[in-house]
Amino acid sequence: MNILIKIIYAIISVIVAIVWGLTLGGIVRKIYARVHGRYGPPIWQPFLDIIKSHGKRVSISHGIMFYLGPVFRFGGGLGTYLFIPVIYGSTVFANFSMAGDLLLVMYFIFFGQLGMALGAGEGGHPYSPLGIARGLSQMSTFELPFSLAVIAVAIQYNSLNITTIVAAQQGGILNWTLFTNPFAVIAAMISLLGMNMHSPFSLVLAPQEIPIGPPIEMNGSFLATLQTNRGLFGAAKLVLFMNLFFGGATNLPIMMIKTFLIYLVSVIIGASFPRFRPEQSFRFFLKWPTIIGIISIIFISYF
């Protein structure tokens, strides 16, 4: 009976995350449009896109793995979210955080991206291998400083349990990792820019070059699955960063405010800078954020 209740709570939590993630996506599109001098689509446009995509049918046939790509992608986003406590001290939004730790969450982050790469590899577009090579290469580079930041957090709180890490940051804003180990936060936030793939790290879709990628190759329910995962996975990453570095949240409004402000960092930088070339992006992540990540470990170990 207890596990059934946990499943019901998890379903409620996932629905809230998808709605909030898609809403954030709509807000960001509106912000970008205003920066470019346009009015922009309505905030609820991501929801309309999903409904429209579900109403279409697919007649093109690719390999099985091509259609499993969106499933793996959504599975990675779902797994990432379900093992993160969204609201500290909440029964409904605790998800299954008691059954996993930070390493499991990081594995699910990789799982969705690798699964989508395998799916794109069976697509019919000649530029799919180019997008896969760019995406996996950039993923490998931005995960290095992020992993160093996670190691620093694990050393600092002597735990890989996310709930324990959040609990250690309670009692005031000065207890947040942002103030107790700012080097880890800087390295992680730079890595988040790569995870969100806004400019200057928009290498996979590369909208300035040619309109290719999953939004073009996928359609119908497969595209709707990817669009849904964009909301869920986006919310999961923001909640994870909030828990690790910004004290977590004790209620839903605080969670929304913190995740919006964390996401706003990527939006501001994305609207301000042009896109890097692939080699520029790789060198950047392997240089400055990696050095800062190493400093964060040294800082928390000796100071």
pLDDT averages per 10-residue partition of the chain, 303 residues: 84 94 91 84 89 76 77 88 92 84 87 78 74 84 92 93 93 93 94 87 69 64 83 92 94 94 91 85 92 94 79
Q: What is the pLDDT of residue 33?
A: 86
d(CA 246, CA 232): 20
Beta-carbon count within 10 A of 41 CB: 14
Beta-carbon count within 10 A of 144 CB: 17
What separation, in Å, do the N-terminal and C-terminal C-alpha atoms of the chain show? 48
Q: What is the pLDDT of residue 296?
A: 94
Q: Which residues contact 90 (CB under 8 A, 6 or more apart)?
A: 251
Q: What Å distances lie between residue 228 and 137, 207, 263, CA to CA?
A: 25, 21, 18
Q: What is the pLDDT of residue 259?
A: 95
Q: What is the pLDDT of residue 209?
A: 60
Helices 182-196 and 278-302 sit at what angle, rounded to 10 degrees? 160
The number of C-alpha atoms within 13 Å of 226 and in the hemisphere containing its C-beta is 22
Q: What Å distances lie between residue 212 and 123, 125, 215, CA to CA?
A: 11, 8, 7
Report the amino acid identity of residue 124: G
* DSSP code, position 96: T
Q: What Å distances lie between residue 263 and 6, 32, 75, 272, CA to CA?
A: 29, 13, 22, 15
Q: What is the pLDDT of residue 12?
A: 93
The number of C-alpha atoms within 13 Å of 183 and in the hemisphere containing its C-beta is 18
**Do 69 and 1 form a contact (C-beta atoms < 8 A)?**
no
> Three-class SS of residue 171?
coil
**Do 84 and 98 form a contact (C-beta atoms < 8 A)?**
no
**Do 251 and 93 form a contact (C-beta atoms < 8 A)?**
no
Q: What is the pLDDT of residue 59?
A: 63
Beta-carbon count within 10 A of 196 CB: 19
Instruction: Please give the model's pTM, rounded to 2 decimal places.
Output: 0.90
Tell which residue, 254, 214, 215, has the closest CA to residue 238: 254
Q: What is the pLDDT of residue 207?
A: 61
Sequence ranges of the domains in the chain? 2-302
Q: What are phi and psi of 160, to 5 degrees?
A: -110, 5
For residue range 205-226, list pLDDT tens digits in order. Answer: 766 565 555 666 677 777 788 8
Q: What is the pLDDT of residue 37?
A: 82
Q: What Å distances lie between residue 229 and 34, 77, 295, 300, CA to CA?
A: 26, 6, 34, 35
d(CA 31, CA 46): 14
